[in-house]
Amino acid sequence: MMKLITLFTFVFLSSAYAGSYPVYSTEYDPGRDPFIDGKAAIELATKTQRRILIEVGGDWCKWCHILDKFINNDPQIENALHKTFVILKVNVSDKNLNEKFLSSFPKTLGYPHMYVAESDGHVIHSQDTGEFLVALKYSKYKFMAFLNKWKIKPINKLNESLK
C-alpha cells in the first residue's frame, strides 16, 4: 500500500510540474515565432485568468541561466511564478533578434528582461531583472514582492477594498 501511495505521489507531482508548461514558457528558441507563441500565451492566460510575463533573453545569456536556476531550484518561487503568470520566453540572439515582435516594446537595459502584460497581451510594465539582485544574487524577497505586486487580485477582494 505504501508503494502505491508513493507511486501516486510521484506521478502526481511529475505531471503537475515537470513538462506541464508549454515549450514557449521553458526555453529560448531562435526558431520559434513569438507572434504564434504570444497568441497561444494570450489564450492560456485568458482561460486561466493570469497575466503574461514576457521574458526576453537567450541561451547565450549567463544571467538568463542564473535566473532560470534561481526559479527552478525553489518550488515556492516556481509555483508562485506560474500561478501568477503564463510565461512567454522570447529569444534575442545573433540567430534571431525578433526585432519585429519587440519593436513596440520599451527598450531594455540588458538581459534577461521582463515585460508584464495583461491577459489580452497589452504590456503594462517593463522590468529590469537587475532590480531583483542583492549582492549579485537574485533575491527571493524581491522576486516574490514582484510576483505579489503583479498578480491578478480576485474581484471579491477588490470590491472589499473599495468599501
pLDDT band at 3 (very low <50, low <70, confident <90, very high): very low
Rg (CA), the chain: 17
**The predicted structure's pLDDT at residue 154:** 76
Q: Does the pLDDT of residue 53 top 60, yes or no?
A: yes
The grid cell for 88 is 512567454
User: Per-domain residue ranges for the chain?
Assistant: 22-162
Assigned fold of 22-162: Glutaredoxin (3.40.30)
**The predicted structure's pLDDT at residue 20:** 87
Residues written for the chain = 163
**Residue percentage of the chain with pLDDT more than 70:** 83
**Mapping DSSP to helix (H, G, I), strand (E, B) and coil, where does residue 101 land?**
helix
Using CA atoms in the order 115, 96, 35, 21, what is the torsion angle rounded to 10 degrees? -70
**The predicted structure's pLDDT at residue 2:** 45
pLDDT band at 14 (very low <50, low <70, confident <90, very high): very low
Mean pLDDT of 121-142: 97
**The predicted structure's pLDDT at residue 156:** 60
Q: Does the pLDDT of residue 144 top 60, yes or no?
A: yes
The kind and range of the H/E element at 141 are helix 140-150
Distances (CA, A) of 160 to 21, 84, 137, 157, 163: 33, 21, 38, 5, 5
**The predicted structure's pLDDT at residue 153:** 83
Return the number of other C-beta atoms located less than 10 Å from residue 30's C-beta. 14
Using CA atoms in the order 17, 53, 86, 48, what is the torsion angle rounded to 10 degrees? 140
Tens of pLDDT along 29-44?
A: 999 999 999 999 999 9
Mean of per-residue pLDDT scores for the chain = 88
Tens of pLDDT along 83-107?
A: 999 999 999 999 999 999 999 999 9
The grid cell for 63 is 544571467
**Mapping DSSP to helix (H, G, I), strand (E, B) and coil, where does residue 75 land?**
helix
